[in-house]
Amino acid sequence: MKGSVDQRLKTDLKRLIVEECDLTIDTDEIGDDDLLFGSDSRLGLDSIDALQISIAVQNKYGQLITDSKQLRKVMRSINTFADFIQPE
């Protein structure tokens, strides 16, 4: 199953982001297509948050992201992130 249609995976990713970045919002406040980073993001995540998230993803899912351009592309939204972790 492709990650963007796997609701359980997307919920797990939202929970991981909230916990790793010490956010004070509920996971259901993060939309699947909301921007996670940048000036248009409601979450206010930065490069340190991206590093924390990428380490947590590596530990939990075994997915390593070393290229910063790939990281920005993968972590654009919950849907793009889920598709990276679970492509099919």
pLDDT tens digits along 29-58? 999 999 999 888 999 899 899 999 999 999
Four-way CATH pick for 3-85: 1.10.3720.10, 1.10.1200.10, 3.30.420.10, 1.10.10.10? 1.10.1200.10
Q: What is the pLDDT of residue 12?
A: 97
What tokens appear for 36 in the block? 């996670």
| CA 28/CA 48 separation, integer angstroms | 23
Average pLDDT value for the chain: 92
| CA 18/CA 49 separation, integer angstroms | 10
Is the Cα dihedral 7, 79, 76, 34 positive or negative?
A: negative
pLDDT class of 71 with cuts at 50, 70, 90:
confident
Which conformational region is residue 76 in: left (phi greater than 0), alpha (psi within -120 to 50 degrees), or beta?
A: alpha
Closest listed residue to residue 26, CA positions, set 48, 9, 11:
11
